[in-house]
Amino acid sequence: MRHTERNTRCGGCPVPCGQIIPTRKEAAIIAIYHCSIKIIKRSEGRSAVAAAAYRSGEKLVNEWDGMTHDYTRKGGIVHSEILLPVHAPPAFQDRSTLWNSVEEIEKSGKAQLARELEIALPAELDRQSQLALVRAYVQDNFVSAGMCADFAIHDKEDGNPHAHILLTIRPLLETSAWGAKCRKEYLTDEYGQRIPDGKGGFQSRRVDMTDWNDRGKAEHWRASWAEYANRALEQKGRPERIDHRSFKRQGVEQIPTVHMGVAATRMEQRGIATDKGRLNRQIAADNKLLKELKARVTRLYNWSKANAKQPEKASILELLKQPTPSKPTTQYGKIKALKESAALFHFLQNNGISSMAELHAKITAMQSSYYALRGEIKSAEREITTLTKHLEIWGQYGANKHPKSDSEKLLLESAVQYLNEVKASGGGITPQKWAADKSRLTAHKDELYQKMQSMREDIKTVEIIRKNAEQLAATTPPPRKEQNHDR
């Protein structure tokens, strides 16, 4: 098994590393999860040989088009390795032989050449544990299924280690020759006869020779990475865990942050604020406020619900007029108490609240309003994040429209691929509209948060009412039962 070890610092990966891998600022119980899956397509100007050269930091010649790809000066590649199924030719241990064989068998200018996975490695594990983890994951999920795998571990020593895994798409036969990706299957009628297509031929469908392109496979591979990584963390006695599911699927009511990337991360580390950094800080503050308000309004709802049906001898206003058990003695305390009392009476009178049932109705309305506002805020945040990504990639496209180096060419190819996906999804390439929509949504989100802040003040007032009511209930002796003196 051929592999190389390097100890040089990473010079920065221009596209896959910088754009996709998220920044790991600190270890947490819920650790960072990242596992993206992409196809390297010749139609997008990419090649399997170029991808292998870049990820391994080697100089390789693509015999299909004659281009040389030299990445021997690239840093940060600490390990690269090829894993093969048992029936693969031994010559495929050579990186150039393997990927040039892939290029040669694919004749079409629109051929799919390789599949790539990019995974964030747990920074909590040492290098040998990370290597063993990747090797086991690749062997059990891909090589055992018949794929040839070429993986590399990149680490710039910034707490963000990650691995690139290149996989063959075409099945490899037991004879060590490349097999067909698919076959044509003719459709038949109830009598087993082929169905004419009206054009002189017969109706048919494409049948893949493997299940590697099935949509469920991607979900399986993503879930498997979480399983393998968590097992490795557990074996090392670490408390961190990763989860391949989105926040929504996990039941976590939190707005996800955006990926920082290498350039933005370095600028932030130097004290230079970036758009991505500002957006992530705002999202973090938003999540904190949403979590806080949800907990407070839920507590008030449960308290008022429990007391709403209890018989009351006096209204809430009358109860609050009763002297409190602990009177303030300082001038500051007395002034604060007066202000609080004024705010309480003002809140109750403005909302027409005189009983616990009416207070419960008000809190129920506040809770409904909170969930409605939260839904609008999360929707706005998601759209803002998408538009920010669109604008970033558009800027990347413009800056590298006339590439002068392989790195700039990779950046351009990545931008073109992203923008093509935007068009394919039914969206247009409208940078001016993206910018205008982002400004409008940001202003709308700010308005929503002003409403949240107002709700925060109402919650604070109701919490004081609850505190006073509970103090009075605790100090008021229960009514004495009348004794029957009849003889």
pLDDT digits (tens, 9 = 90+) for 109-162: 888 899 999 988 888 888 999 999 999 999 999 999 899 999 999 987 766 788
182: β partners: 208
Q: What is the 3-state secondary structure (H, E, C) of 267-303?
A: HHHCCCCCHHHHHHHHHHHHHHHHHHHHHHHHHHHHH
pLDDT of residue 167: 94
What is the reported pLDDT for 472? 57
> Which residue ranges in the chain fall short of pLDDT 50?
1-30, 244, 246-252, 313-314, 486-487
pLDDT of residue 456: 79
Cα distance between residue 128 and residue 134, in whole Å: 10
| Reported pTM | 0.50
Output the pLDDT for position 243: 63
Q: How far apart are CA 119 and CA 9, in angstroms?
A: 19
Residue type, 435: A
pLDDT digits (tens, 9 = 90+) for 337-396: 555 566 666 677 676 776 777 777 878 887 888 778 888 887 888 888 888 888 888 988
Give me the DSSP letters along 151-215: EEEE--SSS--EEEEEEE-S-B-TTSSB--SEEEEE-B-TTSPBPB-SSSSB-EEEEESSSTT-H
Longest dimension (CA), the chain: 118
The pLDDT of residue 15 is: 37
Q: What's the pLDDT score for residue 114?
A: 92
